[in-house]
Amino acid sequence: MAFMIAQRAFIKLYLITMVEQHRGYGYQMLEELRQQFKSHGYAPPQSEIYRALHELVQEGVLYRTKQLKGNDPRVDFQEIVLYHFTADGAEKAKLYKQQVKQDLDRCLGILHKAVNDNYG
Amino acid sequence: MAFMIAQRAFIKLYLITMVEQHRGYGYQMLEELRQQFKSHGYAPPQSEIYRALHELVQEGVLYRTKQLKGNDPRVDFQEIVLYHFTADGAEKAKLYKQQVKQDLDRCLGILHKAVNDNYG
DNA sequence: TCATGAACATAGTGTTCATTA
DNA sequence: TAATGAACACTATGTTCATGA
């Protein structure tokens, strides 16, 4: 029984949701998460985003396609990696999200309890 | 910037509160915490309780006294270690608790955001 | 600088082991 | 078994480096 949810699982959750909304590639998702969590005092490290993406591919949830970032190859040669659900990826993702939800609720319970027990 | 609160800090918080209420020794606090968090799917490991207590002593928050558990030394030779606040321990503990409170709130914010962002 | 990836290093943790006023 | 403590092992993570459509 672990204490808190792992950062990896937390990031995977967000990545899945982002892929559901067909949003972006690794670096972009990283920047967006950093932006979103900046005010929460949390900046997900770059390595974790890529590791999480690789794991989701490994687990058969996502597959990758490559693409040039700009639409004019004469000016923009930057290659990016896009992620999509595999045939059964959406289903797997759904199950995964359910598990993570359980864990999030568990963690919230623990933290709320701690606030109640130790303050006020 | 860390992701979630460390287990160590979390346990220290509880230990401080328990010492405030002059409750118990290491093993007893361990059992009580396990009892309390059982339904939350969390069982703090024994090593963490002792490590946390040692750190609090190291940091000058607590000091130790030893005592036989039973009141009749002829039947009960079990020695236990009791913890008390040092001269400035209470003050230090208060500051520490404030810091942990901040971190708990930060974590709660992150987790709540995750629930909002990824479900519903 | 953007974008991806891997290598490396380490802290925090979980598991076992040791000891016994 | 209760109680304390330490040793050991490991995994998740953070940092740094490498590369380039």
pLDDT tens digits for range A57-112: 999 999 999 988 876 666 667 889 999 999 999 999 999 999 999 999 999 999 99
With tokens 């810091």, the residue in question is B99
Q: Nucleic chain D: which protein residues 32-61 of B have CB below 7 A from it?
A: 46-47, 50, 53-54
| Domains observed in chain B | 7-118 (1.10.10.10)
Tokens linked to B10: 């979390």
Band (pLDDT 50/70/90 cuts) for residue B6 is very high
Cα A69 from Cα A73, distance rounded (Å): 9
Q: Which residues of A touch B41 (CB under 8 A)?
A: 1, 106
pLDDT in tens, A6-31: 999 999 999 999 999 987 899 999 99
Q: Do A17 and B43 touch (CB under 8 A)?
A: no
Other CB atoms within a 10 A radius of the CB of residue A60 amount to 12
Q: Is the model's pLDDT at B75 over the cut of 70?
A: no
* pLDDT of the residue at A32: 96
Chain A to chain B Cβ contacts (< 8 Å): 94
Q: What is the 3-class SS of B11-52, one letter each residue?
A: HHHHHHHHHHCCCCEHHHHHHHHHHHHHHHCCCCCHHHHHHH
Cβ-proximal residues to B20 (8 Å cutoff; 6+ apart), any chain: B85, B90, B93
Nearest CA in chain A to B93: A118
DSSP code string of A11-32: HHHHHHHHHHTT--BHHHHHHH
